[in-house]
Structure 1
Amino acid sequence: MNSKRFSICIVGGGSTYTPDMMEMLCLVKKEFPLRKIVLYDIDEKRQKPIGEFGSILFQEYYSELDEYVFTCDKETAFTDIDFALVQIRQGGLEMRELDEKIPLKYGVIGQETCGPGGFAYGVRSVLGMIELIHDIRQYSKDAWILNYSNPAAIVAEATKRIFPDDYRILNICDMPISIMDIFAPLAGLKRTDVEPRYFGLNHFGWFTHLYNKETGKDVLPVLLDKLKNGHCDDELHYTDKNDDYWNFTFKHLEKMVQDYPYSLPNTYLQYYLYPNTMVNHIDPNYTRANEVIDGREKRVKEYCQSIIDLHAIRGTQYDLDKKYAQESHDGIEQATVAHNDAHATYIVELAMSIAYNRKDTFLLMVKNNGIVNNLDDGMMLEVACQVGNHGAEPFHVGDVPTFEKGLLEGQYAYEKLTVDATLEGSYQKALQALVVNRTVVDTDLARKILDDYISVNKDYFPKLK
């Protein structure tokens, strides 16, 4: 066993992804021993069943812990921690639903992180994350803050400005990892068998290489050839594991590769490259937020409550020995209660790489500073980095092609203007942000959408003048 034991706070303890994270921490307790785990959330009612589930889980599977607590008190949560695993959602699913449905009234993309929905969520998240980081730093000035909170690109742009020298803030996303999990088997490999090269902004990027760690061979051409030929689900069977939303998205990736056959795009690019298709595909009365509320939210709540009612996990249908393959700590593959294997795995892998200075490769958001020669040095790029106890060391990319360069510059202008509008309280820059976004473009539409967002966000938004 490693000699040092660490302390972790899961911020957003009421998240439906928290049970998976807690179970993951139990599964890797020999490789990544902990002395304290804290859940923190501002919503006591939402966090309570997950916190009570954690009490049973850790009593049975992590008796080595010195302390476990779930709390809404900042000092209790953030004092003496080594890692803050952050997954907050400012405004909750109630505001997400409005983020998605308001633009759809006007025939514009309604999505959580892309287009106008990402703008509204971004304004709320910037304010929430800045306050949260100040709170964490008040009690644990050297803790690593590993942030999943969306929209990660906008959050990264804001944290870069407010905390420019804090290299212990790392913004991450599990979508590229999920893409690797799903499609690496096309080359007969698992995600953990390959090392990616990737460039872009969060939810707006491209894989350029996937190197087989054992042979050094780039296997991305194999994936691209199979995606170009289509019908990859016949080989991968991902429709057996995912809901209709993700099945459509993964199948749509084949079309993106067929239209742009030289790299593997992030799935979220479908909203920017095919906005009309995506608007027509979305039910304006029942968006992804409704699917989550009726699906994952209920499923996780029922899971936790069932364990609370049983007062046990071991020896029940929920026994972790039955759920997981104990020998595969380097990448737990079985479906978890949140139906997102990558979310818990990736952030724990990142914490372990930092804790033990492993210099493993992760896709992180870092300031360009010459990583891509022909893009703005201030751009918060998502690229492959080695990560150890000195933070992220990005791999150089070089020049990017004109098509991607143009898309990225427009998207970065939108992200910068969104952060400007939030920090300055500028209505003009908020309007400009929406107009420059590829999913909106039209000024009159942008103004209608912005005014609707202002009216429903009330205290979540700064006063825009």
Structure 2
Amino acid sequence: MNGYKIVICGGGSTYTAGIVKDLIDQKDELGIRELWLYDIDKERQDTVAVVVKAVIDDLAPEIPLHVTVDPKEAFTDANFVMAQMRVGGLKMRIQDEQISLRHGVVGQETCGAGGMAYGMRTIFPMCELVDFCEEYACKDYWIVNYSNPAAIVAKAMHKLRPNARILDICDMPVEIEARMAEILGCELSDIEVDYFGLNHFGWFTNVRCKGVDVTDKLKEHVRKFGYISEASLNDALVKDPDWAHTFKNAATISTLFQDYLPNTYYQYYLLPDACVEYMDINNTRGMQVVNGREKRIFDASAALKRGEKVDLTQFYVGVHGRFIVDVVKSLAHDLRHRQLVIVPNNGAIENLSDDATVEIPAYITDRGAEPVRVGKIPRFYKGLIEQQDACEGLVVEAVIEGSYQKALEAFTLNRTIPSARVAKEVLDDMIEANKGYWPELK
């Protein structure tokens, strides 16, 4: 059969329509035989699928779209599975955020207590996805996983499914690179970075634009404005104050620690007090998604069902989908594109343990990722990373072993939580909220 069967796992995501558009943009280079949406939430997926079908009908009606909740149907003979599952949905995301904030700690979907709770919900469902692919998919299948929290999920899969053909990625560094390109007045494709760390916990060490080192120029800009061009700052303050606040925190971190440029998620770990002070328990980011992106796509689906015209371009935003599709294309055709991916360290960062789950540059081949060696990193950054990697490792062990003690140790180690007492209080509330999602902890 010519072309590839591509499955989007988590087909009911509000991002699906945009990813499908990016797949269509590269359909000839990629070679798509058929596209499948798979989700365990039929009602939600069917709603989103109306918009996805409109995108395909508008741009590439020749591509067959199939929508299913049956894993055998979805994964049989699949070549590529793009995984974006959100276990517990936005309802649990909001609960994670609010429980954390009630205890005065960071309420965020991938960092801190919320990230650990989300990770503990996701580990075994991700194992199930791997097992479906092993049973039904092509022997040379690839799972491109960008399900959050990517660091914990990746570490769990390296331990529980070490032979799975899975490549773990995150689009946040690429989003920052896009902001760098805007600042420099160039294209994203002109940017190449050196980077080390964990997922949502890393640093840009060097940035090149068309081969020219622009690191110092960017550092100077970021210390003043964060990751946003001076011309766009006022617009960002109006359109999305949360991101404007994030850019401001990037400026603070870059001023305090001047060796490298931070991933924006470091704000939750290095400035947790400022983040908590800014956050609103009655209007968390999860609530904003429900009232914003989710509402827009649900409204669009309802309008399409009524036969009305809808502006589909509102769902074609960001570099998220383009990055994911580029990774799939490089895996499919052995293109050796250089991307930031999440892999076992195995000596890439010399003074970290081999089993650390690091985010570093790699060349994407049809055999997977070929990591770029980073060398040794300074003591401060090493200490930060080792603490966070230990925290994430304990989360994984807590789930596998059903261990309350290891979950408590993980929550205590996390930099967003100020004390063991608070860690226990948050953990106990999370256990109650996650009944039916977490294994029993003893």
TM-score (normalised: structure 1): 0.91
How many pairs align?
439
Tell me what 2:372 maps to.
395
Shift in Å, 1:197: 1.0
For the residues of structure 2 that align with 1:286 and 1:79, how far apart are their CA atoms? 42
Shift in Å, 1:255: 1.4
Shift in Å, 1:233: 4.7
- Which of residues 414, 432, 447 in structure 1 aligns to 2:424? 447
**Distance change in 2, residues 1:70/1:317 (3 Å):** closer
- What is the root-mean-square deviation of aligned Cα atoms in Å? 1.8
Identity, % of aligned positions: 42
For the residues of structure 1 that align with 2:69 and 2:305, how far apart are their CA atoms? 20
For the residues of structure 2 that align with 1:384 and 1:206, how far apart are their CA atoms? 12
For the residues of structure 2 that align with 1:17 and 1:111, how far apart are their CA atoms? 19
For the residues of structure 2 that align with 1:374 and 1:181, how far apart are their CA atoms? 30
1:433 is aligned to 2:410: yes
Q: Structure 1 counterpart of 2:217, which letter?
A: V
- Which of residues 273, 277, 284 in structure 1 aligns to 2:274? 277
Shift in Å, 1:234: 5.6
* Partner SS for 2:384: helix
Tell me what 1:333 maps to.
none
For the residues of structure 2 that align with 1:455 and 1:28, how far apart are their CA atoms? 45
1:16 is aligned to 2:14: yes
Q: Please say if residues 199 and 206 of structure 1, whose CA atoms lie closer than 8 Å, have aligned partners that are also in contact.
A: yes
For the residues of structure 2 that align with 1:110 and 1:258, how far apart are their CA atoms? 25
Q: Please say if residues 223 and 250 of structure 2, whose CA atoms lie closer than 8 Å, have aligned partners that are also in contact.
A: no
1:247 is aligned to 2:224: no
Q: List, as ranges, runs of 4+ consecutive aligned residues in structure 1 with deviation greater than 6 Å.
A: none
**Distance change in 2, residues 1:463/1:191 (3 Å):** same
Q: Structure 2 counterpart of 1:409, which letter?
A: E
Unaligned runs of 5+ in 1: 324-335
* Partner SS for 2:282: coil
* Partner SS for 2:364: strand
* Partner SS for 1:400: coil
* Partner SS for 1:111: coil
1:100 is aligned to 2:111: no
* Partner SS for 1:30: helix
1:115 is aligned to 2:93: no
Q: Please say if residues 17 and 338 of structure 1, whose CA atoms lie closer than 8 Å, have aligned partners that are also in contact.
A: no
Shift in Å, 1:236: 4.5
For the residues of structure 1 that align with 2:206 and 2:112, how far apart are their CA atoms? 28
Q: Structure 1 counterpart of 2:424, which letter?
A: R
Shift in Å, 1:136: 2.0
Shift in Å, 1:32: 1.9
For the residues of structure 2 that align with 1:292 and 1:256, how far apart are their CA atoms? 27
* Partner SS for 1:90: coil
TM-score (normalised: structure 2): 0.95
Tell me what 1:356 maps to.
333
Tell me what 1:422 maps to.
399
Tell me what 1:318 maps to.
311
Tell me what 1:193 maps to.
190
Unaligned runs of 5+ in 2: none
1:55 is aligned to 2:53: yes
Q: Please say if residues 227 and 257 of structure 1, whose CA atoms lie closer than 8 Å, have aligned partners that are also in contact.
A: yes
Tell me what 2:223 maps to.
228
* Partner SS for 2:319: helix
Matches within 5 A, 1:336-415: 336-337=314-315, 339=317, 341-415=318-392
Q: Please say if residues 372 and 400 of structure 1, whose CA atoms lie closer than 8 Å, have aligned partners that are also in contact.
A: yes
Q: Structure 2 counterpart of 1:9, which letter?
A: V
* Partner SS for 2:82: strand
Shift in Å, 1:447: 1.0
Q: Please say if residues 371 and 398 of structure 1, whose CA atoms lie closer than 8 Å, have aligned partners that are also in contact.
A: yes
